Amino acid sequence: MELSGEEKKLQALFSELKAADEQATPHFGATWNGAQISPRKTHALNPAFVAGMMLLVFGVVAFAVWSRYSRTTSSPQPVIANAPQNPGTTPAFETASRPAPESPLPKPKNAPIVARNKVTSQHNAMLAANRKLEKDAKSIASWTSPTSALLESPSDEIFSSLPELNQSATQLKSFLPSRSN
């Protein structure tokens, strides 16, 4: 291949570079023997490997915490309202989620046993809460106002009862207004 003037210059520059590199080339035996005796590289301290493992561990721990937390907060408990709006009416029930429980504690070594005990205690607490709710509901249903006695009158029975068809005429007369003629 015929080289032009500038190509020849480039070729000469590369040749000079090559000559300098050849002088600086390490001895083959040293490099070859160095390769033979060099210790095998281990991947244990590879930064990318370490970073990957750390990410993996973090992901697993985060998932475990999230799954545990979501299980405790997913079932809403029925909560009774503080006080009835109208006396004598049944208490209003509303469904609302309970406040978030205390932050999850780090898992001990015997995690399955602790978790089972915790589930049992939670179940017992839920039963006790339900019993208390039933008791409160009964007491609220039988509640009467302290001033209700003032509103009572002897004719309350008449106002609160209705005449029946099979009653006698004399009894029905009592419902009629009295006439003087």
Partner 1 sequence: MDIAELNEELEKLHSASFGWALSCCRRDHAEAEEVLQTVYLKILEGKARYRGESSLKTWLFAVIRKTAIGEYRKKLVRSLVFLGSSEKHEDGVSSADGPTRIFEKSELQKQFRIALAKLPARQREALHLVFYEDLSLSEAANVMGISVGSARQHYDRGKKHLREWLSHTETENGIVWRRKETPSAV
Interface with partner 1 (CB under 8 A): 3, 6-18, 20-26, 28, 31-32, 34-36, 38, 47-48, 51
Q: Give whichever of 30 and 151 is closer to partner 1, judged by the CB atom.
A: 30
Q: Give whichever of 47 and 146 is closer to partner 1, judged by the CB atom.
A: 47
Q: How far apart are CA 87 and CA 89, in angstroms?
A: 6
3: left (phi over 0), alpha (psi -120 to 50) or beta: beta
Six token digits for residue 7: 């190509």
One-letter amino acid for residue 117 of the chain? N
Smallest separation (angstroms) from partner 1 to the CB of 8: 6
Smallest separation (angstroms) from partner 1 to the CB of 51: 7
Q: Give whichever of 12 and 126 is closer to partner 1, judged by the CB atom.
A: 12
Within 13 Å and on the Cβ side, how many CA atoms surround 175? 14
Smallest separation (angstroms) from partner 1 to the CB of 44: 15
Of 98, 102, 57, the residue nearest 74 (C-alpha): 98
